[in-house]
């Protein structure tokens, strides 16, 4: 079992690396800058994560695990399939509210060709978790036929990630909100 201090250091590293990656992607994740941000030596980061690829894979894994936990908590709290689908876009909006960042996995997904395979795998898991959750919500809400569930779930996921990207590129969260309203008006999301 890891000692509590080691876990705490790793958690601080992962939290800071997540913030950096949400703002600058994998390419902008510098071990030296990360160490400075956390207030430790770069060698200490390598103690917990042997390489940048290991660090980025751990960051992406924690990100999708935290996202999955958040979605499941929403599922239990709201107990209404339409409410789940209405609330889902807020999980992406929170990144924009946090210094105009975007979803970590969307940012890294844009760098996909340059990512090490373990990072690619975790990025794909994030998309899979979201699409599966959306599919479950769509089924529970009886909004689409069973054979259309995955296709609609992928469309919703892609549309929301795209809205987030457009809003970030203009530093305008109201654009995100306007795009979501257009998705509702078009019937992609429930009104």
pLDDT digits (tens, 9 = 90+) for 112-144: 999 999 999 999 999 999 999 999 999 999 999
The domain containing residue 134 runs over which residues? Answer: 4-186
Residue 191 lies in a domain: no
Contact between 190 and 85 (Cβ < 8 Å): yes
The enclosing domain of 14 has a CATH number of 1.10.357.10
pLDDT in tens, 148-191: 999 999 999 999 999 999 999 999 999 999 999 999 999 999 98
pLDDT at 127: 94
- Measured between alpha carbons, how far is 126 from 28 in angstroms, rounded to an integer? 20
Q: Which two tokens stand for residue 63?
A: 């990100």
- Domains held by the chain: number: 1
């Amino acid at each position: 079992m890891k000692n509590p201090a080691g876990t705490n250091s790793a958690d601080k590293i992962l939290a800071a690396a997540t913030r950096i990656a949400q703002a600058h992607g994998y390419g902008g994740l510098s071990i030296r800058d990360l160490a400075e941000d956390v207030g430790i030596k770069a060698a200490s980061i390598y103690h917990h994560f042997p390489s940048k690829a290991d660090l980025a894979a751990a960051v992406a894994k924690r990100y999708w695990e935290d996202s999955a936990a958040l979605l499941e908590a929403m599922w239990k709290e709201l107990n209404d399939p339409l409410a789940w689908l209405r609330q889902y876009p807020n999980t992406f909006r929170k990144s924009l509210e946090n210094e105009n960042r975007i979803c970590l996995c969307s940012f890294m997904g844009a760098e996909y060709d340059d990512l090490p395979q373990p990072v690619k795998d975790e990025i794909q898991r994030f998309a899979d978790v979201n699409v599966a959750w959306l599919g479950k919500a769509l089924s529970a809400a009886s909004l689409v036929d069973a054979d259309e569930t995955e296709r609609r779930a992928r469309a919703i996921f892609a549309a929301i990630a795209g809205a987030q990207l457009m809003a970030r590129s203009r530093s305008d969260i109201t654009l995100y909100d306007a795009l979501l309203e257009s998705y509702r008006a078009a019937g992609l999301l429930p009104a």
